[in-house]
Every structure is written in C-alpha cells, then in structure tokens.
Structure 1
Amino acid sequence: MKIKSIHIYSDDGRRRDVNFHDGLNVITGRSSTGKSALSEIIEYCMGGSDFKIPEGVIRDRVTWYAVIYRFDGEEVLIAKPAPSPTAQSASAAMVRRGAAVEPPAHSELNVNDNDDGVIALLSDLVGIPENMTEVPIDNSRESFDATIKHTWYYLFQKQAIVTNKDQLFYRQNEQYQPQAIKDTLPILLGVSGKEKFTLESQLRAAQRELRLKAKLIQQAAEAADSSEDRAFSLLSEARAVGVIARDGNVGAQQVIDVLRTALNWKPQPVPDDDGQRISRIEQDLVDLRDGRREVQRRIESAQQFARRADGFQNEAHEQKDRLASIRALPFSKATGDWQWPFAEANLGITTPIAQALLSELESLDRELTAVTGERPALDSYLGEQQEEVAKFAEQIRTKELELASAISASEFLTEMGNRNNAASRVVGRISLFLENFVPDSELARLKNEEGRLKSRVAELERRLGADDSEARLMSTMSNIASYMGGYIKALGGEFGQFPARLDLHNLTVVIDRPARPIYMNKTGGGENHLAYHLAALLSLHRFAATYDQPIPSFILIDQPTQVYFPSERAYAEAGGSIERTEKDADLEAVRRLFQMFVRFASEDAPGFQLIVIEHANLRDDWFQAALVEDPWTKPPALVPDDWPDIPMD
C-alpha cells in the first residue's frame, strides 16, 4: 500500500493535486505553506475521524480532502468532506475502487461510506489477517482487532517526534496507545496469524467451559455429601410450620419426593383488617371519658352549692333564734305591745332600732323559706347527674371490652401473617435445595462432559504447539535488530559500533554495550536521536517488506534535517533554498541522510515509498529528481492564494 496522490478541493469546485512516485519523494519549501498538513490529510483519509488539519487557510478554503492509494493490481480513492466549522471530527466518506483510479471532479464527490467501512477495506487490502489481540483473562483491558489504524504508529514521523529522545512512535505519548502498540505489532509482523487466532479463541472457549463444568461437579459433589441430612432437616422445618403433614414416616428414598410436594403450598388467606378499628375504639373511649369527667364536674359544682346552702341555713336559724327573743319582751299592760327594756316607761317597740331588728327577722324568715324550697330541685338535679355518670361508666366498660377483643383479633392476624411468612421462608429454602440437588445420573453426565472437554483442551493445546509465539516474536525482533546497526552507522550515530535493538517492552531503542545497555533517552544530541528513530523505523519496514507483512509500504518523515542546522531559525530560513542550505547546514550530514533514503528505497526495500517534508534543498541531480514539486513558497503552496474562503453558515 502506497500513496499515489493527494487532492484537495475548493468551495468553487477547483482541485489541487500532489502526485507521488516510488522511492524518495521530497517536498521542500518555506514554513506555513501546508507541507506538514499532508500527513494529517493522509491519516484523515485512512479512516481517522478526528480532524487534525491545522487552523488557517487549509481549513478556511478546503471543502474536500482525498487520497488515492495504490495496491497490487488495484487503486482506491478515499475522499472525505471537511466537517462543519464547529465540529472536531467527521466519519462520512466516499470510496471508489478500480484498476486505475483518477481523481474525481468536485461535482462527482458524494458520500457513500464511512470510516468504519474505510478501515475494514484498507485493512483487508493491505492483508491484515483476521485476528484479536491476546489479553489475559484476569486483565482489565479488552481484546480488540488489529486494523489499518494500528499501522499509523510506523507511518508518520512528525516534526516533534523524529528527534524526540522519549518518544519513538507516533501517538506513543497518548493514553492507552503504548499498550496498543505492544498488543498489535506482533500481529502486524506475522507472529500471530489467523490460524493461531482461531485456535486460541477455541482454546479459551473450551477452557472456560471446562472450568464451569468443574465448578458444577464440585458443587454437586459437596451438595451430595450433606444432601440427605439437609433434606430431613428441611422436612422437619416444613412440618413445624404446617407446610407438610406430620403423619407418616419418610425414608431416605422418599424424602426428595415429599419435599417436592412443599412447592405446591399456598399461603393461608388472612382476613382483611383495615388497621383502623383499634384506633376508632380508642378514640371513642377518649370521648366517653371526657363526657364522664364533664358530668362529674357538674355534680361537684351542685354539691358545692348544696354545702354552701346548708351553711347559710344553719347560720340563718341561729340568727333568727337570737332575734326571736325580741318576741319574748314584756308586754305593756296598758297597750298590749312589747315593752323595750331600755325605752321609757310605757313606751312600745316602735323605735328605729326596734323596727330594724324586726325587719331583719322578717328577711331571715323569707330567705329560710327560699332555701328550703330549692332543696328538692337540687336533690333531683344531683340524682340525674349521678345516673348520667353511671351510663358513661357502663359505656366505657363496654368499649374497653370491645378494645380488648380488637387487640386480640389483631394479634391473631399478625400471628397468621408471621406463620405464612415462616412457611414461605421454609418453602424457599426447600426450592433452593431442590434446585441445586443433583441426582446421581446428572452427576455422572457432568463428569462425562468434563472428560470430553479435557480431551478437547488437550487437542487444541497440542495443535497450538505449546504456543511458540514468544519465541517467534524474539526471532522477529532479532531480525529487525540485525538491520539497525548499519543505519545508525550510516547516519553517524553515537555507539554505532555496538549492536542496537528495538525494545518492544519499553518502546525505545537500546544500544547493547558490553558494560551495560544504553537506552535512547539516556543519550544526548538530536543527531543521535534522529539516527535511532530512523534506524528503528526503517529496519521495521525493511523486515515487513522483505517478508510481505501487512504494513503499508510508505513512511512520511517531517523535517529530519533540522538537527543539521545551527538553529531552528536558520533551518526555517532555508525555505527550500539550495544556497541557504549550503550556507547554514552540515551539508555532508544532509547529503548522507538523503543518500541513505535513496539506498533504502532502491536496495533494502525496493519500491518502498519515502515521503520527506523539508526546508533543506540540495543541488544534486538525484535529489532534484526526488522533488515532488518545485519548492513551496507563497505562492505556490498547498492551497492556492486565489481560492475563496468557505462561506460561514
């Protein structure tokens, strides 16, 4: 799989084409002309939904992006519209296949697929076998299929990565990606094939089923040891709560059948009780007692009145008796009237004092008459109130009897409910016991199944050959390592005299110096880091190309010669100029790098496609032949200046 061409489309229907060829392809020019965006366009048109095109004229003026990929005997166009201005991703795509595919006109662009379809198609065409990553059963991560997306790690060496001492592969610094690299690279290098994947899937399924059968047999055996005692214990409980009749003896052979009858038990119906009867009776009692207290209060008031009346009557009688003595005074023989002792002789009792005393005596007579007349009515009133108190007492006694009866009835209903609940619990335990009870015939069947599964697992393990994938992976990594030292030497990397290898566990390059291994992040100098990066990537692609492994046969390297310039500013100012390159760069190092690229694509991996994004430019004929276009300036650049901006909705 290689890149035939990249195409972008303007809003008014114009198209810009960038064509590539086998071998070394160089795009050089000034900064901010769109060179680095090429890798983002390729990724976007390989099923990448995230829209990573940098902000600026490319986003503002390009409506569609397209890439034509070349395979053996077939070409595939993948085109994708730009997402809406507020969106960060898009999955709609157009797919066109054929022996030779030409870029379509703007009017021919239409969506007929999506990223999932693109990934499946490219994965199949590049030859990635049916697979699934190997993940231990007790691991938290899940297995997944390796696809074309898992080759991106080895296809793009962007400006920030190509000389990074801590990051070897594209996206290696993102969460979960290091593990994805470790899981999928063995598949892409042919260590894990379709047959192995199929056998491993069948083995895992058979092992899971075997573990399940073994667990069932263990449970059945443990249950069988105590099943008889447990059965009779449950029978006793069922009889105690009335689920099973108490009559008759049950033997060990019949106990299971008797317990099964308990499953037909139905709870005893409980009479309805609205739950308010006791409350109503208690309220009636409260009302009756309040009524009785009111009558008793009236009786006490009447009795208090009677007591006050009796006291008055006694005092009045005493007063009257004292005053009545006036009537005993002597009569005047001459007049026949009472004679006042202190009055003048022969004077009658007609003085004011005598008249007042006589008047008081008459008043007492009247009050005594009134009190004596009210007493029969008061006695009658008190009698009526006493009868009312007696009625209240009888009603209270009746209500108290009714309350006691209601409380007794409620306790009976509660007892019935508790008895039903107890019976239900026993029936539930019996049901669980019978559900887990395994007859001897079923236990024998389970053991036969276990034997069959053991034979199946043994056969699958034999066919897998005791799983030699680790040994095969070590052999593969050793082959890749055998190429790396030559590339490090060719680029003048430090420690080039020692063997180098790709450390898949730590995802870095290791130099095996006799004293101790040296890891890439422990080395210094951008030139060294560039040498280690390119040695690892080129060696991996060389192995894949030599042994026809399913990794696309291209790699895009962004600005590798930056390390050969005295400063970033000097590198940027080179801008595709031969003169500035010869003035500022380590010219021999730049030439050595590109000569190695040419040699790699012509000798080490014939036909391999190297796309290099650069600021440097060499006057050598072979380098000029590798230029895809004239150096990009402003203009020309990736996006023409006269393209219109996309209208904002």
Structure 2
Amino acid sequence: MKCFLRYIGVVDTQDKIHHVRLEPGLNVITGKSSTGKSAILEIFDYCLGSTEDTIPVGTITERAETFFIALQFPSYFVVAARKKKSDRCFLLEVQGSDPERLLKLIEQPKAFFDPKHYMPLADFKKSLGRYFAITLENVDEDPYLKAAGRNKSATPSVRSFSSFMLQHQNLVANKHAIFYRFDQKEKRDQAINHFKILMGLVDEAYFDLYRDHEVAKYELKKIQAQIPKQEQRKEAAIARYNRFLTEFKSLAGIPLIDATAEEIYSKPATMLKMISGRSVKIDVLSDQVETRRAELHAQRIVQLIEKRQLQGQMRLVNESLSSATQFSLSMTAESLPDSIELSEAHCPLCEAPTSTPAMEANKLVSAIDWLNDELKLSAYARESFAAERRTIQESLDKVNVELRRIQADIQPLDEEIAKLKTSKSIDEQAMKAKLRLEIAIQEQVDKPESELHALEKILRVEVDRLAGELARYNIKDRLKTLSNDIDAKMCEIGSEFDFEATYKPSKLRFDVESFDLWYQQNPSTRVYLRSMGSGANWLYSHLALFMSLHYQFAVLSEKGCKIPPILFLDQPTQVYFPASLDDAEAFDAKELAKQAKREEAVDADMTAVTNMFTQLAKFCDETGEKTGVTPQIIVSDHADRLTLGEGYKFSDYVRATWRTRGFIAEM
C-alpha cells in the first residue's frame, strides 16, 4: 500500500495548529523528557481508531482540542481526527498531492474540521478501511457459527495495522512481548488470523469458497453416513420379502410369483401391482408345509441349544464375579499390616542372638506381598468377568431375536390346521401371507429409497471442484515462501546490528502462523527472546523482525498487501541510556551514561546507537530503490547530533527538536 504519514498534529483550545511534518524514509523526533515525543505514537494510534485514549496526561492533553493525522496517497490525502475523550471521528479526503496546500486548509480548523464529517467510531473504521481495500464483511471459515449460537469472527480493519506499526517505549526492547496488543489473547489471535488477509494472500472470495467447501464436505459426510443405514434397510426388506414368499409357497404349495426378493425390492411399484393381481391357487398335493415346518423346527433346536450353552456360561461368569467381589470385600474388611520392623532378637533363655524372628518376619512380608497381589488380581478379575458377561449377554440377545423370528414363521403354519377345522377354507392362510407381502412392499413404495449413491457422486464432484478452486490460492506454499523471505531478510538486517557474539551470525526465525520469534542456535535448539539476555539483543531482535516485515509490506504493495510500511519506534536508545530524566538543553551521552552508571561503556554505546540509526536510514533508502516503495520509520528519542556512517547525516532526518520547547509550545 503506497501511503505514508505526512502530518501529525494537535489543534489547541485557541484554534492554533501544532504539527510535525514527516517524510518517507527515516524521521527522527528528538528532545528532552516530557516534551511530547512519546505522545506522537499515541496520537497516531488514537486517530487510527483506538477505543482507548492513551495519550499521556500533561500539557498536550490539557491544551489540546483535536488530534489529527494526514495520510498521503499518490493523488490525495486522507485526514483523520478526533477530539479528546471522544468516540466520534473525523474523516475527509482532500484531492491533490501538495502538502503545503493541505496545511493551509488545516490551519483554518473551524472550517476544515466541519462537524458533518464526524461519524461514530465503528463507521469511521469501516470508512477508513476502504482506502486500504479492507472491505471484508465475513472472514469465518466455519459456516455453522451462527447455527451454533456463536458470534461471527471480527473482520480486519485499520486497527489490525497497529500491531505491525507501533513499538512503544515499553515494547521496543521487551523480552516477553513483541507485538502491540498481544497481551490480550483475542487481539493476538485476530492479528495472526488477519495476517494472511492483510498481506494480500487471500480475499473475501477465498472465505466464500472455504465456507462452500466446508458445507459440501459436511453434506457429503452426512450422505455417506446414511448409505450404510440404507443398505441395512435394504437387507431387512429383502429378508422380509423372502420370508413371506417362502411362507406363501409353504402354505399354497406353489410360488406366488416368478421373481426373487431382490427383484421385488428393485421394482417395488411394478411388482406390487403384479402380485396384487395374482389369484391365490392351492396345490393340495404339495408337502411344502411340512417340509417348511421341519426346517423351522430344526432351526429352532439349533438356536435353543446355543441359548442353553450361553445361559450356562453366563451362570459360571456370574458365580465367578460374585466370588471375586466377596473375596475382595472380606479381605479389605480385615486390618492387615503392610510392613513390619524388628529390633535385634535374643534367646529368652541364654540371651544369645537369634535370626529366627527375622526369618519368620520375612515369611510374613512375603505373605503380605502375595495377599496384596491377590487383592489387585481380584480387581482385574472382576473387570474381566464383567466384560465377558457383556459379551455373552449380547450373544444371548441375538439368539432370542432369531428364536422369535423362527416362532413367528412357524405360527402361520400351525394356524393353518386350526383354520381348516373352523372355516373349512384352504386358501385363507395363503391369502394372509400374500397380504403381508403386499403390505411390506407398500411400505417401501410409501417410503422410497433416496438416490444416495447418485447424490454422493454429485457432492463428491462438488467437493473436489471447490478444493481445486481453493488450491489456486496456494495458501500453504505462499505462507511458507513469505516466512522464508522474512527469515532471510531478518538475518541480513540482524547481521548489521550489534548483537552479542553468541548471536552472530544472525539466525533469527519467525513463525507466520504462531508469531513466535527465536534464534536458531542449531537445527534442534531454539533460543527465544526471554532466554537471550541483554537488552541490546532484545532491541535488535525487535528491529530486525519489524524491518523485515515492513520490507515485505513494500515488496507486496502492488500484489495486494494492505499494510502501509509505517513504523513507530519510541525511544529505542533506552537500552543504552535508560535515564529517568533528561532535561538538558542538548543531548549529552556522557551525562546520561553517568545516570545509568555506564560511564565505562559510553563510547561503545554511542557506536552502537549511531550504527542503529545508520542502518535504519540505509534500510529505508535501499528498500525504496528495490521495491519502489520507501518505508517510513518514525523514531522518538533523546539521541541527537549523532555522527552516522556510510555518508548519512543525522540532521537530514530530524523533523523536530524539542529541547527548549515541547510539541505544544509554552504560552
């Protein structure tokens, strides 16, 4: 995203403008303590839509009326502003690229900051986000969030930028934290989830595809789960048809229809019509009834024998389980020792030492150990018996089902004789068998089999199609490439900073999926910041990471990256000059070193500080040359009048010096 911060300022209660003009590349705001250097970062964050007003209390907050920032795009400016302690925000686009003309407009604050351009904070963030192509309405990958009663995920906004832009005074050299707002798990998770969106790797169409893919996979899985149930239903129906066809043939002596049960199932409506039109004919010379009766009685005997065997096994298991339980209860009811100690033993008659009690004690210990093992064994036995009982009961249930089926098949054969004696009708029982078959077929017709296999094929094609569409985004490989590029740039940048010798050459690594940062000591050992030691190492790790990230923001600015390469560093030299008070009219490194009790290291510290600023300036220039986008690094610090290396002049980057005045001059 080709955009940088042109102005940051304050409109005071007297309608006077106090501002700092900034440029692409390195910008330094230097000055003594309590002049408003740190407020620069907080004003930017506040005008970018922060829900909190964290601008330091003091002269600025006492005299400020409105805070504003002006972002410069290639052909226009976007001015964002907020009154102090307000939830309404100002947003205005100003055409042109002349910063002087824009400043003249802002210097008429009553006319420029027209109330009609103020809006609620939520609307402001959406409106400002449009300038950075952040217009996503739904980034949920789970299509069933709403059905589950959960809120949809937060969408990216300009607030997502702050974690990548702001390095506060208490963060820039922190060994426990790296990113702004990551102390809140929700904010951390959001920033990580939004990263691939902000980097332009995915768009809203990706999330639509992802949700459609999840829905298709869910529907396919649901159909596949139903297919086995349908197969079971089919098997049960065919088994019923076979029973009724066999029953009819047994009673009538001839087949009802020249078709198998499988054929009836495959064409239920046609077969039902055919069977309904058939008249019942009886072959009185047939012996099918007795043949069928004999078959069923033989089957019943086999099942009954198996049932009796299973009942015998169940009785033995129940007795064993009862015995094991009773043994355990009787043993635990006794108070049994688990150890014994003996003092030196002597014969009661001659006082001679004897080992007999010790030998007996050893036997007792062995007995105790055996008993404890038996008690444990009984618990194992009880569990084993219980499992065996469950298995036998399942087998018994299956046998009983089969016995009930056989009895049901025998019943109409037995009833035939009784019916013949009373009604003298020889075809009544056969008619009943035919009717039962018709009723069973009608049930299938009323509840037809769904075309699950055909639907499964359609859904599988859709799942594969959507998977192919998602594969075009190539997220995994692109994230891996991005991760490798970040690591390579970190190592290149880190090699120019004054890390301790232990961490040279630079082998910093960053995980784009967890946002962890570490030094890769060897292939199997990671050294995280908290274990590195030395504030300088923590500072340079932060700088190397953020400079590498901003290099990627510049590289990918034409490929969909939405984050402008704007980075705030608040007092990075505190690692070397951690003075609590700097109120001199000029920066004095020796005095600050004295306060920090680092007089002996002042020369080395100054070398490190000047090198740091040199590398920041060099990074901005080289990135601009390679990518066409110059990152903007805004440093607020005490350091001043430094002698940089490689031909860079510190004074070229100083945008404000607040030694005799602050951001807002004294009245």
TM bucket by the smaller chain? Answer: 0.5 to 0.7
**Alpha-carbon offset, residue 117 of structure 1:** 3.2
Compute the TM-score of the two structures, normalised by the length of structure 2.
0.58
Q: Match of 2:201?
A: 191
**Alpha-carbon offset, residue 639 of structure 1:** 2.3
Distance 1:188 1:438 in 2: 56
CA contact (8 A) 1:132 1:146 kept: no
Q: Match of 1:107?
A: 110
Q: Match of 1:123?
A: 129
**Alpha-carbon offset, residue 190 of structure 1:** 3.1
Q: Match of 1:169?
A: 179
Q: Match of 1:527?
A: 536
- Gap regions ≥5 residues in structure 1: 84-88, 230-251, 254-436, 643-649
Q: Deviations over 1:335-369 (max 9, x none)?
A: xxxxxxxxxxxxxxxxxxxxxxxxxxxxxxxxxxx
1:636 aligns with 2:661: yes
Q: Match of 2:650?
A: 623
Q: Helix, strand or coil for the counterpart of 1:444?
A: coil
CA contact (8 A) 1:135 1:142 kept: no
Residue identity opposite 1:561 in structure 2: T
* Closer/same/farther in 2, CA of residues 137 and 96 from structure 1, 3 Å limit: closer
Q: Match of 1:486?
A: 492
**Alpha-carbon offset, residue 502 of structure 1:** 1.0
CA contact (8 A) 1:79 1:95 kept: no
Q: Match of 1:568?
A: 579
Distance 1:29 1:151 in 2: 27
RMSD: 3.4
Residue identity opposite 1:158 in structure 2: H
Q: In terms of mean alpha carbon deviation, does 10-19 or 580-589 score higher? A: 580-589
Q: Helix, strand or coil for the counterpart of 1:170?
A: coil
Distance 1:478 1:576 in 2: 46
Distance 1:98 1:532 in 2: 40
* Closer/same/farther in 2, CA of residues 506 and 448 from structure 1, 3 Å limit: closer
Distance 1:6 1:189 in 2: 26
**Alpha-carbon offset, residue 134 of structure 1:** 6.0
**Alpha-carbon offset, residue 70 of structure 1:** 1.2
* Closer/same/farther in 2, CA of residues 550 and 442 from structure 1, 3 Å limit: farther
**Alpha-carbon offset, residue 439 of structure 1:** 6.4
Select which of 617, 639, 644 maps to 1:598: 617
Distance 1:579 1:24 in 2: 22
Q: Match of 2:511?
A: 503
1:609 aligns with 2:642: no
Select which of 203, 207, 217 maps to 1:207: 217
**Alpha-carbon offset, residue 459 of structure 1:** 0.8
Q: Match of 1:553?
A: 565
Q: In terms of mean alpha carbon deviation, does 195-204 or 38-47 score higher? A: 195-204
Q: How does 1:329-368 map to 2 (within 5 A)?
A: none
Distance 2:584 2:194 in 1: 39
Q: Match of 1:539?
A: 548
Q: Deviations over 1:65-118 (max 9, x none)?
A: 1111112222101122223xxxxx513434334234445322122243333333
**Alpha-carbon offset, residue 598 of structure 1:** 0.5
- Gap regions ≥5 residues in structure 2: 240-267, 270-442, 594-601
**Alpha-carbon offset, residue 170 of structure 1:** 1.0
CA contact (8 A) 1:220 1:438 kept: no
Q: Match of 2:95?
A: 98
Q: Helix, strand or coil for the counterpart of 1:206?
A: helix
CA contact (8 A) 1:71 1:126 kept: no
Distance 1:504 1:438 in 2: 57
CA contact (8 A) 2:201 2:478 kept: yes
Residue identity opposite 2:650 in structure 1: F
* Closer/same/farther in 2, CA of residues 605 and 453 from structure 1, 3 Å limit: same
Q: Helix, strand or coil for the counterpart of 2:90?
A: strand
Q: In terms of mean alpha carbon deviation, does 452-461 or 142-151 score higher? A: 142-151
CA contact (8 A) 2:9 2:68 kept: yes
Q: Helix, strand or coil for the counterpart of 1:486?
A: helix
Distance 2:78 2:445 in 1: 64
Q: Helix, strand or coil for the counterpart of 1:80?
A: strand
Q: How does 1:73-472 map to 2 (within 5 A)?
A: 73-83=75-85, 90-100=87-97, 101-102=102-103, 103-104=105-106, 105-108=108-111, 109=113, 110=115, 111-128=117-134, 130=136, 133=139, 142-211=152-221, 443-444=449-450, 448-465=454-471, 468-472=474-478
* Closer/same/farther in 2, CA of residues 640 and 193 from structure 1, 3 Å limit: same
Distance 2:463 2:592 in 1: 70
Q: Match of 2:352?
A: none
**Alpha-carbon offset, residue 546 of structure 1:** 1.3
Q: Deviations over 1:570-628 (max 9, x none)?
A: xx427572444687352111110100111011012452111000011124472112111
CA contact (8 A) 1:477 1:502 kept: yes
Distance 1:99 1:447 in 2: 63
Count residues in correspondence: 428
**Alpha-carbon offset, residue 137 of structure 1:** 7.2
Distance 1:582 1:589 in 2: 17
Distance 2:70 2:48 in 1: 10
Residue identity opposite 1:70 in structure 2: Q
**Alpha-carbon offset, residue 157 of structure 1:** 0.4
**Alpha-carbon offset, residue 210 of structure 1:** 4.0
**Alpha-carbon offset, residue 490 of structure 1:** 1.4
1:512 aligns with 2:520: yes
Distance 2:177 2:545 in 1: 12
* Closer/same/farther in 2, CA of residues 498 and 49 from structure 1, 3 Å limit: closer
Q: Match of 2:36?
A: 34
Q: In terms of mean alpha carbon deviation, does 174-183 or 470-479 score higher? A: 174-183
CA contact (8 A) 2:143 2:215 kept: no
**Alpha-carbon offset, residue 61 of structure 1:** 1.9
Residue identity opposite 1:500 in structure 2: L
Q: Helix, strand or coil for the counterpart of 2:471?
A: coil
Q: Match of 1:58?
A: 60
Distance 1:49 1:493 in 2: 37
**Alpha-carbon offset, residue 163 of structure 1:** 0.5
Q: In terms of mean alpha carbon deviation, does 197-206 or 9-18 score higher? A: 197-206
Q: Helix, strand or coil for the counterpart of 2:569?
A: strand
**Alpha-carbon offset, residue 491 of structure 1:** 1.4
Compute the TM-score of the two structures, normalised by the length of structure 1.
0.60
Q: Helix, strand or coil for the counterpart of 1:181?
A: helix
Distance 1:9 1:438 in 2: 81
Q: Match of 2:73?
A: 71
* Closer/same/farther in 2, CA of residues 537 and 462 from structure 1, 3 Å limit: same
**Alpha-carbon offset, residue 204 of structure 1:** 2.4
Q: Match of 2:410?
A: none
Among all aligned residue pairs of Structure 1 and Structure 2, give the percentage whose two residues are the same amino acid: 23
* Closer/same/farther in 2, CA of residues 167 and 619 from structure 1, 3 Å limit: closer
Distance 1:527 1:128 in 2: 36
